[in-house]
Each structure stands twice: as C-alpha cells, then as structure tokens.
Structure 1
Amino acid sequence: MPDIKFSVAQKDQLVEKLQRYFSHELDFDLGQFDGEFLLDFISKEMGSVYYNQGLYDAQAVLTERLDSLTDVILALEQ
C-alpha cells in the first residue's frame, strides 16, 4: 500500500484533533512538530489496518447489494 498523503489543510486538522485529545484526555501539551510526527507514525504503522477495514466494509456492502439484485432478478424470472 502506498504511503498515506494528506493535504496541508487535512494534516493541520488532524494534528489539531490530536492536540485537543492530548490536552483534554492526557493533560499534555502536544506541539505542532510532535503532533505531525505522531500523525505520520500512526498513518505509516496503522493506516493500512483502517484502509483494509474500509475495503472489507465496502466489499460487504457490495456483496449485500449484489445478493439483493440477484433476488430481484430471480423474482422477475418467468
């Protein structure tokens, strides 16, 4: 899987969420540099797990829709 790339705006937004989480939940001030470093680590080390889960979820939805379509076609058969 290729590296996950974020736009500058996306990266800023994600780092801000990390900073807010660290501040509220851990009472720790996470700086911009450390936040970006943490985001890069999470993306590199864990991003593929989330990506793959998204693929599995999409596959399950498509399978369900195709099964439904098959049922409709069978009902239309004469």
Structure 2
Amino acid sequence: MMKLKWPREQKQQLIEQVQHYFELERSEEIGSIAAEQLLDHMVALLGPHVYNQAIQDARKTVVERMQAMEDELYALEKNVSAPRGGSR
C-alpha cells in the first residue's frame, strides 16, 4: 500500500477538492473524513501505477539525453591521421 505524507495544508486542499467534485459532479455532499478516506484509497490504488509510469518516463528521458550527449561527444573527437611525408 502506497502511503504519501503530504503537508497538512496540501492534504486539506485535496480533501476540499474531493468534496467540491462531489458537490459539482454528483450533487452530493460528503464530509471531510469520507473525502480523506476516498483520497487515501485512490492514492493507494492508483499511486503505484502513476509512480511506475513516471519512472518509465524519466528513464526514457535519461536514455534520450544520454544518446544526445554521446552524439555530441563523438562530434567533438578530432580526426587522427598519419603525418604526411612518411614516418621517422
């Protein structure tokens, strides 16, 4: 189960947003305890999926940036050729 620790003010804002959603979309009023329980349940249910997707997105970005850096490093290499006029 995924448990997030939010600052008190942020969690209160989220609870109020859940309550607001229920009022607007469902014409229902729910208390702050019910909204908090729903929020905690949804985070536990969806959190791991969202987290894993974020990790995959970050991994993709890192791989793309590493490839670009590798290309840039190859572009910086100097051409090495044997000196003209024979070897001494």
Q: TM-score, normalised by structure 1?
A: 0.87
SS of alignment partner, residue 49 of structure 2 = helix
Once the two structures are superposed, residues 5-33 of structure 1 have per-residue CA deviations (whole angstroms, 9 ceiling, x without a partner) of 22211110111111111111111112101
Q: Which runs of at least 4 in structure 1 moved beyond 3 Å after TM superposition?
A: none
Q: What RMSD in Å do the two structures reach over aligned CA positions?
A: 1.5
1:54 positional shift: 1.2
1:2 positional shift: 5.3
Q: Which residue number in structure 1 is paired with residue 32 of structure 2?
A: 32
The structure with the largest helix share of the pair is 1
Instruction: Tell me if 1:46 matches 2:46.
Output: yes
Q: Which runs of 5+ in 2 are unaligned?
A: 79-88
Identity across aligned pairs (percent)? 36
Aligned pairs for 1:10-25 within 5 A: 10-25=10-25
Q: Which residue number in structure 2 is paired with residue 56 of structure 1?
A: 56
Q: TM-score, normalised by structure 2?
A: 0.78
Rg comparison, structure with higher value: 2
Q: Which runs of 5+ in 1 are unaligned?
A: none
